[in-house]
Amino acid sequence: MIPPRFPSLLRFIAPLLGLFSLATAAPPPVSDFVKWPEVNEVRISENGRYVAFLTPSQVRFFDLNVYDTQTKESKKFDLGGDDVTDFFWIGGDRMVITTENRPNYRGRKQVFDVKQGKVTANLTYERQFFQLISSLRRDPNLFVARFFDDGRGSAGLAVISTRLRPKVMAGQDNSRFNVKEWIDLPKGEFHGAATDHEGEVRVAAVYSDKKLRFHYRAGPKEKWIELPFHYETTSVIGFTPDPDLLYVAHYAEEAKSSRLHRYRVSTGDFGPPLFEDATYAMNDAELFQVRQADGSVRTAALGYHRDLYTQLAIDPLFAEIQTAIQAKLPGRQNLIVDCDQAMQTFVVASSNGREPSRYVIYRHDTKAFLPLPAPTPWFKPAEMSVQRPIKFTARDGLVLEGYLSLPAPAADGSKPPLVVYAHGGPWARDTWGYNSDAQFLTSRGYAVFQPNYRGSTGYAKAVSKDDDFEFRKMHDDVTDGVKHLVAQGLVDGKRLAIYGGSFGGYLAVAGVAFEPDLYRCAVTFAGVFDWKQLVKQSWAQSDDDRFNYDRLLEKLGDPATQQERFQNISPIAHIAAVKAPVLVIHGKLDTTVEYQQSTRLLSELEQRKVPHEQLFFDTEFHGFSERENYQKFLTALEKFLAQHL
């Protein structure tokens, strides 16, 4: 049973929230905020011998490094010019790496053997693309992959084998050459799968007959059965050793928030809640489960986001290790992110909020701590800002949360200007920790407010569920949060700006359209300004994603019959009210939000003679994948804010 009480993590960061010394030196250059951290993605092999991590390469992404805990030696592997973007362990010596070698290929997946120091098998070949789902324990050569419907062959989930090699035959499509067998899925539009600790697909979500259905099987040879779950109220969190029991997060009618349950498949019984938090939801909770050498699974901890991320020990050994780590690294948030099968060697992400997490290797048998290199040695942590968790009350009485980051105090004692930094989604949330955009802005003298408006995930029903498509209410929440900060005397109420990407980009333009006298300027990246246009885009893409199109119609209504509602929520219809300058940014390859949303906004701004600037990227999708483009964006952002704020 998970303990019902736990200490607040606020006491760990209280010493970090004091005022900074007066700013006198020049701020760090833009390039410092664009660099990759010196250490990324630290993960330990199952036997605990090797710790792998990524370091910035001389190309675009990363080099693969492995530290041997026995020999105490660290080695950087030469991959012949390949750039590593990701990896994960599949045993004591082997891992799957994802590499790029532009313009030759992107996203190639290979098996890399650390002992041999080389690639031992290819999972993907030229012109082949799939999503890798898992590695199968029953055979080291087998993996589960999702193939997409590209008109070149079968689509769906398949077991692929590294023993199968491509054969070149004229006039024959060979993109599915490595499929050993197709997984027989329930009929419908595929929307995700969950695998157990053996890598077997146990849960599949498919959309059929206007319903997103969840199907379960006890093993790879068992029949699928439909679970009576609704996607709005229940989600699978993890598996238990008993095939009849699943860990699920569930919003019961009588509960304020979703609770953790062990759901019994055979009877459809959720049982009593194992854990609940009336303020925060369990939907995005993570069970820290360790697959041990004998194949058994040990559930060690439950992690979920409060105002700070919280790890609750379930296993006594995990609690003992947490205590030892906190004693060694006081005044910091210390999260265990990985461990070996024996639960003796651990990877700890230790954060003070002023820099990316610093990774530490902890050996419980010897009580030894090995810190890996500092992530951003070019910064002086004492001069960086820290997110301060805050609460504010919306106009209808709903209590919401957010984060405030303050710059160094001005020499003349004046209050700082504020940049509202609204997250996307809207079904996402901001969390506590290092944020490069926020740090960049505070280094330039701006306070940064990151509001978790209603619809943000991870909260009770009243926040996350009840109004999750009420976009104007979300805008009002942001406005109310800003006015709260001004009323508290924390920021200069006459120097306010708003910035965001995706749905945050919508909120940025909504801010200057619906509150024309509040902000001095707005910055939008890949935003939605016309919801009717987004519904049309979703219809055009509905051959592959009928679920999301139908969901938009259900939640927002049909634009043809509810014109007034769409007019009300779409800032494109209110540009005549905009007074503040707007910086419009978009990637031309974006398939999530078409960049025509931004070109139309620019046309309206031009027609209404609203001051505006634009920055479009030919090679970007729905976000930044190119560091040089990210630097161009930050440079343009700095110039725009300096001019108008």
Domain boundaries, the chain: 385-530+570-644
The percent of residues in the chain predicted with pLDDT above 70, rounded, is: 95
CB 432 within 8 A of CB 387: yes
Of 530, 120, 106, which Cα lies nearest the Cα of 98?
106
Mean pLDDT across the chain, nearest whole number?
Answer: 93
Q: Which fold has domain 385-530+570-644?
A: Rossmann fold (3.40.50)
Burial of 80 (0-12, 13-18, 19+ CB in 10 A): exposed
Q: Which pTM was predicted? A: 0.92
Identify the pLDDT of residue 153: 72
- What are the structure tokens assigned to 491, written together? 């920021």
- Closest alpha carbon to 362 in 386, 389, 383, 343: 343
Region of 196 (left: φ > 0; alpha: ψ -120 to 50; beta: rest) is: beta
Q: Determine if residue 380 is left, alpha or beta; phi over 0 gives left, psi from -120 to 50 gives alpha, anything else beta.
A: beta
Q: Which range is least confidently modeled, 19-33, 423-437, 587-601?
A: 19-33
Q: What 3-state DSSP class applies to 507? A: helix
> Is pLDDT above 60 for 85?
yes
495 pLDDT exceeds 70? yes
Residue 31: its pLDDT value, please? Answer: 96
The DSSP-derived string for 187-240 is SSEEEEEEE-TTS-EEEEEEEETTEEEEEE-SSTTSPPEEE---TTTEEEEEE-
Q: What pLDDT does residue 23 have?
A: 45
Contact 338, 320 (CB under 8 A): no
Per-residue confidence band for 2, with pLDDT thresholds at 50, 70 and 90: very low
Of 614, 624, 622, 617, which is closest to residue 582 (Cα–Cα)?
614
CA dist 79 → 50, 89, 117, 621 (Å): 18, 17, 9, 27
* Predicted confidence (pLDDT) per residue in 423-434, tens digit: 999 999 999 999
Of 216 and 6, the one with more pLDDT: 216
Residue type, 178: N
Least confident of 9-23, 72-86, 347-361: 9-23
Query: At 168, is the pLDDT very low, low, confident or very high (cuts 50, 70, 90)?
Result: low
Whether pLDDT at 9 is above 60: no
102 pLDDT higher than 70: yes
| 32 pLDDT more than 90 | yes
- The pLDDT tens digits for 369-403 are 999 999 999 999 999 999 999 999 999 999 999 99
